[in-house]
Amino acid sequence: MAGGDTLGEGKIAGKEYLAFAKNVAGVKNVTLLVQVPTSFDPANPCIIAAPSSGSRGVYGAIGTTGEWALKHGCAVAYTDKGTGSGGHDLQSDRVTLIDGTLSTAAKAGKNAYFAANLSAPQRAAYLGTHPYRFAMKHAHSGDNPERIWGRATVNAVEFAFYVLNEQYGTTAPGKAKGKGKGLDNKKKMKVFTSDNTLVMAASVSNGGGAVLAAAEDDHRHLIDGIVAVEPQINLKLDPAVSVSRGGIPVSAFGLPLYDYITFANLYQACAALAPSIKLNSPFNGVSATFGGNRCTALTNAGLISGVTVDEQAESALAALRSHGWEVDSDLLHASHYTFSVAPAVSLTYANAYRRAKVTQNLCQFSMATTNGLGAPAAPAADPMPTLWSLNNGVPPSTGINLVAEGALNGPIREPLAQSASTGLQDYNYDGASCLRALLDDEAVEEGIEQVKVKGDLGGRPTLIVHGRADNLVPVNHTSRPYLGLNNLVEGGGSKLSYIEVTNAQHFEAFLPLPGYDSRFIPLHYYAGKAMDLMLNHLRSGTPLPPSQVVRTTPRGGVPGSAPLVTQETNLPDIAPAPLAADLITVSQGAVNVPD
């Protein structure tokens, strides 16, 4: 692959094995999937662990890690990390099974991908006042699946070893083990072990956080190397850690996801109207009226200042920068809010950390199919047949939307809500304010503590790749302070390199959008390069590059018709010996990233 063009149908011959880990430290039905391409070479075996990004199902990393791994002849060990697009249609009482087919919850029983923990009378009572509602696995499992993301990644690797030994191992003397499906039911001699098989863990976003967390759960040292791309990771931050850019300390760093995502949810709708960014923000669908009303609500609450909406919006933008967002990501606040990223993520994690039931309607939110006016209603197109394959696990997705239960004009789709406290259609200020306040809730605090990592990679060679313009997972709260924390924990024994890429942001799927195309480059290109570098390091001992800033060149041109991206013009290599002005340094926990 080596960064080359791999377009085409993408079909790769091989075998696939799907299973549930029924109970991973209390998290039920964690999906594991192993793909073994026909190009797999038993004489040179490799396994690539690929936990899903976001809250997606088990195939969530197939377009990133999976593609690379299969084209390199490696078995791929996927997991949904206990999240996944498991949905429960409470109205019809249907759920998805492990393969995406549908069943009633009663018939599925413990084999349901996910089913809300409700008795028949409880479900009926809830539907009596809340028809057409849905429960989603990440939000409503009654657990905090993020706490086992690392362990689930290790379990996926263990499952891959089992599959490979069953597929390639020689039959041992003795009786058959019982009835098996897809695998030989006789005991096999182990051919592949951690001593003779290269194992890399690599993924993006939540999956990137999972592979870093896996280092702390990999007590058997199955994983040889790690590539984490734009990792969403929560840190047990040591007070000695500091982060600077160009020698100047950043305003805030190392905050947990729930802190910065609920902050974004509160401020972005107003900040999107700031004159300094409004006209250049790509895909800015923030309503001037609703966004202006959010500015009014924030001003009246004493959270921002200003007399005019323009002044208030600039104040909101300044608040986001002070809370750790880089100026490089300013132009993305509008589009991210337009796509309801922050509201959806804030609510999902609030429910997960608090272990709330669907019937609790935490912060007066629910999830439902809605009609053209935004009211809960029977769906025009049933979302259940495609939920397992197309839903990303976090509404709004596949016709399932967030609903503001407490709105004066509600229940109604969350963006249309008129807040009871303000009397304004202000993008549901009441809901955003409530979610933000849960940062001080004891149960939420406990949930956040459960998912924090120590920064200990166990001496494993690791590459972290992150876009400086990332608006969803800001570098100041994740990759930069992780480098400092790891430095404190492992010191001179650390084998971590951090690659920060300019003009790169979180959502590759947005790159075709006008304004995204001309301003941002594909971080996925550098993810593939990082996996190439790690593979060469593990197989041949080729040194990993030092921590550095990779300075890319945007495509430019007219938004919507930007010129084609090229390696020569836009995408410089990760340098084996970068210029001094591009070196990222870390010493005694103090990280300095060049400007």
Q: Which amino acid is at 36?
A: V
Cβ count near 491 (within 10 Å): 9
Question: Structure tokens of 194?
Answer: 């951690």
Q: Which amino acid is at 394?
A: V
Q: Using DSSP, state whether 212 is helix, strand or coil.
A: helix
> Residue 87 and residue 369: Cα distance in Å, rounded?
12
DSSP code of residue 45: -
DSSP code of residue 583: B
Q: Where are the alpha helices (DSSP H) in 423-469?
A: 429-437, 442-450
Q: Kind and range of the H or E element at 343?
A: helix 341-354
Q: What is the 3-state secondary structure (H, E, C) of 167-189?
A: HHCCEEEEEECCCCCCCCCEEEC
Question: Structure tokens of 533?
Answer: 């570098």
CA end-to-end span of the chain, whole Å?
32
- Given the structure tokens 């593979």, which residue do they identify? 535
- CA 287 to chain centroid: 27
Cα separation values, 406 from 135, 139, 282, 400, 425, Å: 19, 19, 32, 18, 13
Cα separation values, 281 from 321, 388, 553, 565, Å: 16, 33, 18, 21
Task: Report DSSP letters for 130-150, one per residue.
Answer: STTBEEEHHHHSSS-GGGGHH
Question: 141 an active-site residue?
Answer: no
Active-site residue identified among 205, 329, 346, 547: 205
- Given the structure tokens 């209603």, which residue do they identify? 377
Task: For the sheet with 46-51, list strands across it.
Answer: 14-24, 27-37, 75-79, 46-51, 198-204, 225-229, 462-467, 496-501, 548-550
Q: Is the separation of the CB atoms in 551 and 557 below 8 Å? A: no
Q: Indicate which residues carry an active-site annotation.
A: 205
